[in-house]
Amino acid sequence: MRRLCFLFVLLAGLVAAPLSAAPIVIKFSHVVAENTPKGQMANKFKELIDQRLAGKVVVEVYPNSQLFGDNKVLQAMLLGDVQMAAPALSKFESFTRSLQLFDLPFLFKDMAAVERFQKSEAGQKLLNSMKKKGLTGLGYIHNGMKQLSSSNAIRVPADAAGQKFRIMTSDVLAAQFKAVKATPLKKPFSEVFTLLQTKAIDGQENTWSNIFSKKFFEVQPYITESNHGLLDYMVVTSTEFWMDLPDDLRGEVKKALDEAITFGNQVAAQKGVDDRQKIIDSGRSKVITLSAEERAQWVEVMKPVWKEFEHEIGKDLIDAAYNSNNM
Ligand code: SIN
């Protein structure tokens, strides 16, 4: 009888085994510090998943290019080595040309216009622009407008001529700097501080939170408050991984991600103000504000870049994005 009981317990254990299957692991890789809009968003996503899907899904966040830099992460995603990332919209060029839209200089007048466009039908459609290449966009997350930092004081386009600027991997950004007769260099984010510190380059463009959290302001005596372009992100996953998730879990994961993005966007808005002030208070970097006339010079010199890329991006898409300024 005891032997029969033992066999019964053993069989019951075997039948129950699939119920305690290992949780699905979502490795979320990014390149920025944890105390940034994207870093906070990723941590919030992990927190929500831990609360709601404990034992079923586990999120592992890898900040500061610990797992992959932005130049490798998308290939790694297609190979199944990482499940989520949120590269800057400038870094998808080899997967789609449409997202180059977001790099056009002076396209959006403020973040409210960016938000309106991203929520519009045209903006939402872009989330699927890499589906055929195996990537699905799950949402946008803001960082903010970019500023120009340099080892020299820059007020007008002529001041930037002849200088070397680090850019993200985007031909539009390259054209933008060539338009002011500067030299653009495509380099990974993880190398920017050293390039600036060793004076291998003169400057770079980035948001207040990245300039602050990566200490660029400590090695760049001038920051021109140009607000000339956008740095936002797309949270992406591999289409295969996403579609393989059980329907109910996929819904829960998406809900948690949407909430984390809303939180990250609040952080972005606040950091745009706070980190700017911290940089000013540090006294390490002088913030140059432009007069309307100086700003108009930048617009005039950089705006022809729109025409240059119109055939790749599409005039309708550019018009839709531009019109979001006037709603
Ligand atoms: C990021 O914010 O993810 C990095 C931006 C950059 O490469 O400059």
Question: Which CATH number does the domain housing residue 294 bear?
Answer: 3.40.190.170
Q: Within a domain: residue 214?
A: yes
Q: Is residue 12 part of a domain?
A: no
Q: Is the C-beta atom of 88 inside 6 A of ligand 1?
A: yes
User: Is the beta carbon of 206 within 6 A of some atom in ligand 1?
Assistant: yes
Task: Give the pLDDT confidence score for residue 69 in this predicted structure.
Answer: 94
For the stretch 259-287, pLDDT in tens is: 999 999 999 999 999 999 999 999 999 99
- Assess if residue 5 is contained within a domain: no
Closest ligand 1 atom, residue 91 Cα: 7
Domains of the chain: total = 1
Q: Crossing angle of helices 111-119/247-282, nearest 10°? A: 170
Domain boundaries, position 294: 22-326
Atom of ligand 1 nearest to the CA of 168: 7
Q: Is 168 close to ligand 1, i.e. is its CB under 6 Å away? A: yes
User: How confident is the chain (327 residues) per 10-residue block, as mean pLDDT?
Assistant: 45 49 96 97 98 98 96 96 98 96 98 98 98 97 98 98 98 98 97 98 98 98 98 98 98 98 98 98 98 98 98 97 95
Alpha helices in 246-314 (DSSP H): 247-282, 292-302, 304-313
Whether 73 lines ligand 1, by a CB cut-off of 6 Å, is no
11, part of any domain: no
Does 32 contact ligand 1 (Cβ within 6 A)? yes
Enter the pTM of the model: 0.93
Candidate from 143, 176, 267 with most ligand 1 atoms within 8 A of CB, to mutate: 143
Closest C-alpha to 89, from 133, 144, 36: 144
Per DSSP, 128 falls in state G
What pLDDT, in 10s, does the model give residues 96-152? 999 999 999 999 999 999 999 999 999 999 999 999 999 999 999 999 999 999 999
Taking CA atoms only, the protein residue closest to ligand 1 atom 6 is 189
The answer to whether position 227 is within a domain reads yes
Report if residue 75 sits inside a domain: yes
- Measured over the CA atoms of residue 193, residue 266, residue 103 and residue 171, the dihedral's sign is positive
The reply to whether 4 falls in a domain is: no
As a whole number of angstroms, the distance between CA 158 and CA 269 comes to 31
Pocket of ligand 1 contains residue 208 by CB under 6 Å: no
Instruction: Examine residue 17 and state whether it is found in any structural domain, yes or no.
Output: no
- Rounded to the nearest 5°, which phi and psi values hold at 287? -95, 120
